[in-house]
Structure 1
Amino acid sequence: MTSIDYNAFRDEVRDFLATSYPASKRELNQRQAGMFAEPELGQWWQRTLHARGWGAPSWPVEYGGTGWDAVQKHIFMSECTAANTPSFAVQGLAMVAPVVMKFGTQAQKDFFLPGILSGELYFCQGFSEPGSGSDLASLRTSAVREGDDYLVNGSKIWTTHAHFANWIFLLVRTSTEGKPQQGITFLLAPMSTPGISVRPIISISGEHELNQTFYDNARIPIANRIGDENKGWDVAKYLLEFERGGAYAPSAQGMLEAAKKIAAQQPGDDCATLWDDPQFQRKTAELEIDMLAQAATEHRVMTALAGGNNPGDIVASMLKLSGTALQQAASELCVEALGDYALADQRQSLHLSSNIPPIGPDYAARPVAKFLNLRACTIYGGSSEVQHNIVARAAMGLK
């Protein structure tokens, strides 16, 4: 087995970021407070990575992945976080792609995977519904067979980037018999399908990330079904392991470092700067300890995945519980570090096309909007209450 020089690999990643991520793009990314960068920026970054052969670090090599081990993936993600690279939408790359690999036909793999990898196919996720939320089994959007198609009727909500996406993956009800989970089917559909419409939802942080989508006799080919009819629950559970797992520590680390930099420049009450305040240092140290513990756990999971072992939905739920709480705490520390600048409404200066300058220093524009946006991270992908129930039932045997 060939040994890997991880220091050399880190240098390679740093050199790539230094030459391929220009200052103009970095400046634009400073205006991004949402979960994902706007496609103008996020898709540019995905194309840049794809051209380098680094577009899908976690994919198998046979589908265009890098072949990196868990340590290389961690180095790459950490360096990207340190460079504050755009957070491109992962619904296609990290969620629907693994599902297509595991459950899709060869024709589906041949069509969807190359397009996702290049960024040409931009997916959004149609799971939650009004009145259902994290209780996916109660979904009511229906799909009835008519010839070679399904006629889909209903609505989905909190659909991130539906106004940008050209494809959606969604759960629909194809049967009302038996348990609710037994009548669900997993479909893929172009957003241009007649009968699919999008209504915007503006978040408290000012972004238009979210939407409600409507389906009025939308005709979706049966050939776009992933897996068997009425077996979509198994597909969805597999997908949610990727949505609820993942790496939260690098994001929290990035916000923690931002808080330190801000505090080093902001005046303190009784000190030269806020960073000189022992109480702020204590909060920072406590958060860093939690972040390191999260990172260590994520490393163990990455190592298991690299060895071909799937940690399962319990571990994914535990990571989401601790990881999202950590992200919220890090964003709160950034807001605290801002001091009086946190009172300014900076939302209009954050859009890519905005010509409104930030109030105060450049670092003052983003933290509050990011803090507000992350209030949702303990809800989406299955709320913390749902994750606690999953862990209690599966790991502790509670009912």
Structure 2
Amino acid sequence: MDIAWSADEIAFRDEVRAFLADKLTDDLRASGAHMTSVYADPDHARAWQAILHEKDWVAPSWPVEHGGTGWSLAQRYIWQRERIAAGAPPVSPMGVQMCGPAIIGHGSAEQKAFFLPRMLSGEHFWCQGYSETGSGSDLASLQCRAEEDGDHLVVTGQKLWSTHAHAANWGFFLVRTATLDRPQKGISFLLIDMTSPGITVVPTISPAGENIQNEIFLDNVRVPKSNVVGAIGDGWTVAKYLLEFERGGAAYAPGLQIDLDEIEQFASASRGDDGGRLIDDAAFADAMAQARIDVLALEIFEFRAMSDAGAGRYPHAIPSLMKIRGTELQQRITELRLLAAGRYGMAYQPQAGVSAGPVHFPHAEGGFAGPREAAIAPMRYVSERAASIYAGTNEIQRNIIAKIMGL
């Protein structure tokens, strides 16, 4: 398969590089290059989104009529690769990459007119209300209820693992509006103002000490029925549509290649047990080579998926395949980073990175020991343990693939 860029694509790449060189401040560049998780912190994410909004580059995957860029799949891939290489932080995915496509695909004209422009501008910062106690991978068993009361729904229940709910002013939720013969029936997709009376957000502190996820408690929260996306009771259809974007909407390979380059750079300066350079250690060099081969294979797979999608061929197994392979490689590469960090990988140094949320564990202020890329290794390692769990566990993804294959 020929994956060489065309002349137009090379020109676009050069335009992207010039834009990034001009607009990325040192602070924004550090916030993207030294993230301790897959999310940027809300302040930097908002600041970067404001810059992109001026250029109309916030939503590469949206249709032009709704504020999207009109880029081809190849241009979107180039953008992601160059953004990561430059150290730019990602835009928060909850709005533009997840809720936005759901509204575009299933929302009313009024919902599109109200929510999409505010999502693009960053005026609305979004969180997700899906998982509950006992309803994670088995999401259809959710029990957060919404009772009809005139032209409102009254929502009562609890949600878990909601990324950046502490910073969000809007959230998209799955709620149960009826109990029917199958759990997937009677679920509705609801947009909720997070400043509504009755909402309480409680931090969930990660093993790395970060407040990225949260619990959300809803106590008789009144929400207009006009905030239901799709029909009442048809939320599972909307949720499945959204999950394909969550699982398969991003390319993993560009970021993983940057990670491997960083690891190789500081492994060339660090020393192994025998006093020689770690990069010259046969076992470590073999692990790095295998990781590079696997990332290259993933990139070819992502290019093939991109090519097929451009031709109108997009098997439903593709998002699950990409999610499995991408997250497993993420975890392997954080292990390599931790190994290459050596003694610096044994210390808890959150001040070396840019956390996606407030850090609640005590830590030294100011400086840190060792190269920055090594000092953030423990935080990255701990954060990425969840990569094979969120957005549907990899075990669930394998079940989805098996079902599609008729196994």
Q: What TM-score bracket applies, with the shorter chain setting the length?
A: over 0.9
- Which residue, out of 278, 287, 291, partners 1:287? 291
Q: CA deviation at 1:297?
A: 1.6
Change in Cα spacing, 1:163 to 1:137, as seen in structure 2 (3 Å) is same
Q: Give me the CA root mean square deviation.
A: 1.7
Instruction: Please say which of residues 35-44 and 135-144 is displaced more in the overlay.
Output: 35-44
- Whether the aligned pair in 2 keeps the contact of 1:206 and 1:369 (CA below 8 Å) is no
Q: Write the letter of the residue equivalent to 1:123.
A: W
Matched, 1:388 2:391: no
- Whether the aligned pair in 1 keeps the contact of 2:178 and 2:187 (CA below 8 Å) is yes
**Residue-by-residue CA offset, 1:224-264 (whole Å, 9 max, x unaligned):** 00001111111100000011112122222222122111212
Change in Cα spacing, 1:226 to 1:310, as seen in structure 2 (3 Å) is farther
- Whether the aligned pair in 1 keeps the contact of 2:34 and 2:373 (CA below 8 Å) is no
Q: Distance in 2 between matches of 1:63 and 1:307?
A: 23
Q: Distance in 2 between matches of 1:95 and 1:302?
A: 19
Structure 2 match to 1:65: 68
Matched, 1:379 2:389: yes
- Whether the aligned pair in 2 keeps the contact of 1:30 and 1:366 (CA below 8 Å) is no
Partner SS for 1:150: strand
Structure 1 match to 2:210: 207
Structure 1 match to 2:166: 163
Q: Write the letter of the residue equivalent to 2:206.
A: S
Report the count of equivalent residues: 394
What is the percent sequence identity of the aligned residues?
45
Q: Write the letter of the residue equivalent to 1:381.
A: A
Structure 2 match to 1:301: 305
- Which residue, out of 161, 172, 175, partners 2:175? 172
Structure 1 match to 2:233: 230
Q: Distance in 2 between matches of 1:253 and 1:23?
A: 22
Q: CA deviation at 1:385?
A: 1.3
Q: Distance in 1 between matches of 2:175 and 2:46?
A: 28
Q: CA deviation at 1:200?
A: 0.3
- Which residue, out of 95, 100, 123, partners 2:98? 95
**Residue-by-residue CA offset, 1:120-162 (whole Å, 9 max, x unaligned):** 1111111100111111110000001001110101100000000
Q: Distance in 1 between matches of 2:28 and 2:103?
A: 32
- Whether the aligned pair in 1 keeps the contact of 2:267 and 2:277 (CA below 8 Å) is yes
1:129-168 mapped onto 2 (5 Å cutoff):
129-168=132-171
Q: Write the letter of the residue equivalent to 2:40.
A: A
Q: Distance in 1 between matches of 2:118 and 2:308?
A: 28
Q: CA deviation at 1:372?
A: 0.6
Question: Which structure 2 segments of 5+ residues have no match?
Answer: 1-5, 359-363
Structure 1 match to 2:378: 368
Change in Cα spacing, 1:351 to 1:206, as seen in structure 2 (3 Å) is farther
Q: Write the letter of the residue equivalent to 2:395.
A: E
Structure 1 match to 2:256: 252
1:183-198 mapped onto 2 (5 Å cutoff):
183-198=186-201
Change in Cα spacing, 1:52 to 1:322, as seen in structure 2 (3 Å) is same
- Whether the aligned pair in 2 keeps the contact of 1:141 and 1:152 (CA below 8 Å) is yes
Matched, 1:84 2:77: no
Q: CA deviation at 1:271?
A: 5.9
Structure 2 match to 1:336: 339
Structure 2 match to 1:316: 319
Partner SS for 1:132: coil
- In the superposition, the TM-score normalised over structure 1's length comes to 0.94
Q: CA deviation at 1:347?
A: 2.3
- In the superposition, the TM-score normalised over structure 2's length comes to 0.93
- Whether the aligned pair in 2 keeps the contact of 1:251 and 1:327 (CA below 8 Å) is no
Q: Write the letter of the residue equivalent to 1:144.
A: E
Partner SS for 2:184: helix
Q: Distance in 2 between matches of 1:308 and 1:326?
A: 28
Q: Write the letter of the residue equivalent to 2:23.
A: S
Instruction: Please say which of residues 127-136 and 352-361 is displaced more in the overlay.
Output: 352-361
Partner SS for 1:390: helix
Matched, 1:263 2:273: no
Change in Cα spacing, 1:382 to 1:194, as seen in structure 2 (3 Å) is same
Change in Cα spacing, 1:351 to 1:73, as seen in structure 2 (3 Å) is closer
Q: Distance in 1 between matches of 2:155 and 2:193?
A: 13
Q: Distance in 2 between matches of 1:8 and 1:110?
A: 33
Question: Which structure 1 segments of 5+ residues have no match?
Answer: none
Q: CA deviation at 1:319?
A: 1.1
Partner SS for 2:189: strand
Q: Distance in 1 between matches of 2:72 and 2:34?
A: 33
Q: Distance in 1 between matches of 2:305 and 2:259?
A: 23
Q: CA deviation at 1:191?
A: 0.4
Q: Write the letter of the residue equivalent to 1:252.
A: L
Q: CA deviation at 1:8?
A: 1.9
